[in-house]
Structure 1
């Protein structure tokens, strides 16, 4: 591949993002779910005129999302299934990648100049407050977090021996997938889901669907202010990377104030690795652009915990790069 072709791939990535996002917005994955449609039928469902639709479907076919099913007819491929609105695990990410995330990344220059969130600069509020005024975005984000959790759930839960009983509080629990699985595996455990009000409804449904709602309390709040008391284990997964050091310390110190002397904090993060430079750099910059946060190494996470008044008991790392750091209150701190 020549230099020109390589640069085309790099520079034109935004086109592919919008091609996929438009398919989701026009609900093409749902319309083609388990059936074949002619261009006329699909035009009627989407409102896209037939001549334009044919041009667009040619692009989706090139991306591998649809395939021809006879003259002027189409069917979705396996790649299209995760993009379905009601059942697709990738629906939320594709939707936000084509809107909120897309617009935030257009302000990358601002983030690079200032070190602050490009999303906040673009929208006038941080991502979390944006969810308060946009229920669809909140639900989409929760589903994205579910996808990210489900992909690594077995690996994460296999890292640590959870107790048979007690209370586990999941701080920033998203849709509650991680906690729900814990409650299913350990029938004597009880749980606390701590999340923003806009996301709690999704978590409530998760608990009902998994049959553990009767053992789970849902608490709305802001961990920059305080976290619930009364749990034996506090889990904080994929949260600290969303914040700069000052805010991350504030969250961890609030955890320290709520964790009893016999309690434990489990910090679970995808640790920054330098062996895959591009992946690590993109993940780190995504935290900056969207949230003003940053990826951190295992050692940096441990240092934050110690500054917040914790003693690091053990650090466990999974093949994917997820690390689980068990910490207890440092009585000497």
Structure 2
């Protein structure tokens, strides 16, 4: 390609200089416009259509079922943002745009689709009311997140793919960093289709596993485990972790579960896990821990999303997290970051 697109780090409008404090606000406002274009790129799967090489606007319009004149406007904006590069009327992916190729195992397409999905997007506009009232806008409008995903298969598929891609790096880091010697059985509480547990079991062949989640997940989980040849070592058990948890495992895994709940519900979940544990069992939670010094961190951004999507959902710092565990008769025995992800692993054992 003759013309290389700029880096997609946004620039403020030309009438605001970079030293002007208004520039920071303009970048945020522009971010809304730019994300809308990026969402359209992801929904139309432009990265997929361009993954085999450059194509014209007419060819892309035919492939993705769009009007050529409107698509050209989108392609022009994406080129200016740095996700495409252009020569004449031919467009190609840059290294940034290529990250939205859904053929890649770490594709960012699913993160964009999940964030821009109408229910999720609309909920974010209700953060002001959530701050005023303490009521999350998403369940107010749509009911529970997981019920909504069941009723909207496209959104459910995109969410599952996003969670799988987001969990992959954390699961791999956990498999490397945590000492699984002496652990034979693992129960993944609220484990979805079982991606984290499957990663651990593949890395540590001696492990036997149980994925515990709502019955609605059963078919997808069983298919997921079968494809990975884990059905002889791993079972799916249906249930609600507010009511009970399978008993007697060496290790109980809660990956991005506690942050979905406010204090009372989080303690309810942890108490059910504690009731299922033996005296020598361990609990291992994976969650974002907010820095206590207030430095910039992904967790503060995610905390705003939690406010919009889950009643009571929130990110916590290490002291707050330990307090929840203590209320459930569990004590923290180890905390360790899981780079390159923003997650940490928090290990806890029974206090009696």
Both structures adopt the same fold (TM-score exceeding 0.5): yes
1:306 maps to which residue?
A: 326
Whole-angstrom distance in 2 between the partners of 1:150 and 1:81: 19
Q: Which moved more, 1:318-327 or 1:269-278?
A: 318-327
1:258 Cα deviation after fit: 1.4
* Residue correspondence of structure 1 range 271-286 to structure 2 within 5 A: 271-273=289-291, 274-277=293-296, 279-286=298-305
Residue in structure 2 matched with residue 80 of structure 1 by the alignment: 97
Q: 1:306 to 1:4 in 2, by over 3 A?
A: closer
1:134 equivalent in alignment to 2:149: no
Match of 2:10 in 1: none
- Distance between the aligned counterparts of 2:162 and 2:295, measured in 1? 23
Distance, in Å, in 1 between the alignment partners of 2:156 and 2:78 is 27
1:105 aligns with 2:120: no
Q: In 2, are the aligned partners of 1:249 and 1:308 still within 8 Å (CA)?
A: yes
Q: 8 Å contact 2:186–2:207 — kept in the other structure? A: yes
1:260 Cα offset (Å): 2.3
Match of 1:184 among 195, 202, 219: 202
Q: Distance in 2 between matches of 1:314 and 1:275?
A: 22
CA RMSD of aligned residues (A): 2.3
Count residues in correspondence.
329
Aligned to 2:274: 256
In structure 2, what is the Cα distance between the partners aligned to 1:317 and 1:50? 47
Among candidates 240, 263, 283, match of residue 245 of structure 1: 263
Mapping for residues 183-262 of structure 1, pairs under 5 Å: 183-262=201-280
CA distance in 2, matches of 1:77, 1:226: 49
Once residues 200 and 322 of structure 1 are traced to their aligned partners in structure 2, the CA distance between those partners, rounded to angstroms, is: 26
Cα distance in 1 for partners of 2:129, 2:44 equals 32
5+ residue gaps in structure 1?
none
CA distance in 2, matches of 1:318, 1:28: 32
Partner in structure 1 of residue 139 of structure 2 = 120
Q: Measure, in 2, the Cα distance between the counterparts of 1:251 and 1:193.
A: 16
Which whole-Å deviations, capped at 9, do the CAs of 1:270-315 have from their partners, x for residues lacking one? 2111342464432222211111311111121111111112233333
2:313 pairs with 1:322: no
Equivalent of residue 146 in structure 1, options 164, 172, 178: 164
CA distance in structure 2 between the aligned counterparts of 1:91 and 1:314, rounded to whole angstroms: 34
Match of 1:71 in 2: 88
**Compared with structure 1, are the counterparts of its residues 49 and 323 closer, same or farther at alpha carbon in structure 2 (3 Å cutoff)?**
closer
Where 1:323 maps in the other structure, the secondary structure is strand
Q: Distance in 1 between matches of 2:25 and 2:288?
A: 30
TM-score (norm: length of structure 2) = 0.85
- The 2-side partners of 1:204 and 1:63 are apart by 41
Report the CA distance shift for 1:226/1:185 in structure 2 as closer, same or farther (over 3 A). Answer: same
1:49-95 deviations in whole A, cap 9, x for unaligned? 22222111001112222222x43121223323332345463222211
Aligned counterparts of 2:197 and 2:162: Cα–Cα separation in 1 = 16
Do 2:55 and 2:90's aligned partners in 1 also have CA atoms closer than 8 Å?
A: yes
For 2:167 and 2:237, locate their aligned partners in 1 and report how far apart those are by CA, in whole Å: 20
For 2:198 and 2:221, how far apart are their aligned partners in 1?
9
Deviations 1:198-224 (CA, angstroms, capped at 9, x unpaired): 444444344334332321111233212
Q: Classify the secondary structure of the residue corresponding to 1:181.
A: helix
Counterpart of 1:297 (choices 307, 311, 317) is 317
Q: TM-score, normalised by structure 1?
A: 0.89
TM superposition shift of 1:230? 3.7
- 5+ long unaligned stretches in structure 2: 1-17
Which one of the candidate residues 156, 166, 187 is aligned to 2:184? 166
